[in-house]
Amino acid sequence: MSSLALNYLINLLARRDYSEYEIRCKMQQKAFSEEDIDQALAHCQQRNWQSDQRFAENYLNFRANRGYGANRIKQELRQVKGVSSQIIQNVIEQSEINWSDIALSVLSRKFPQYQNKLNLKTKQKIWRYMLSHGFYAEEFADYIGSSSDY
């Protein structure tokens, strides 16, 4: 194992958690060999310095606190961060996050008038916003009226 690769990886992990995929991409950009990357990652994973499970838990909590729903966070973890679907599913199931409370918080912050009688255009705007932020309809539909109004 290259001590240069290991030092680079430890330096990365000293700042924040990274997924295995992110680390591989960063190390490939720095032209480390696949063998060095594999060995350095295995070394760090054995010592629990790098864990996709821990990364996913922290990322889930961070993004939920920023007002994003489970669907958006799942998509980001899978597509951008390269975390496996199994790990994502386990983390979401084990989390004690109340997505309806987060949806209500986002609604009241972004659309203070959400409880008032709204016209169709405003309801559509709210629905688009909430869905694009990863919330499922069940988590916010009751707060702004049912979908049968459309």
Where do the structural domains in the chain lie, given as residue ranges?
A: 3-46, 52-94, 99-149
Q: What is the pLDDT of residues 9-39, one digit of tens each?
A: 999 999 999 999 999 999 999 999 999 999 9
* pTM greater than 0.75: yes
Alpha-carbon distance of 133 to 1, in angstroms, equals 42
Q: What share of the chain is helix, strand, coil (3-state, %, to 5)?
A: 70, 0, 30
Q: DSSP 3-state assignment of 92?
A: helix
Question: Residue 76 — φ and ψ, nearest 5°?
Answer: -65, -45
> Which pLDDT belongs to residue 145?
60
Q: Is 39 exposed, middle or buried (0-12, 13-18, 19+ CB in 10 A)?
A: middle
Q: What is the pLDDT of residues 67-123, one digit of tens each?
A: 999 999 999 999 999 999 999 999 999 999 999 999 999 999 998 887 777 788 988
Question: Residue 125 — φ and ψ, nearest 5°?
Answer: -65, -45
> Which pLDDT belongs to residue 115?
79
- Look over the chain and give the mean of its residue pLDDT values, rounded to a whole number: 91
Contact of 9 with 40, CB cutoff 8 Å: yes
pLDDT band at 150 (very low <50, low <70, confident <90, very high): very low
Alpha-carbon distance of 87 to 53, in angstroms, equals 6
> Which pLDDT belongs to residue 38?
95
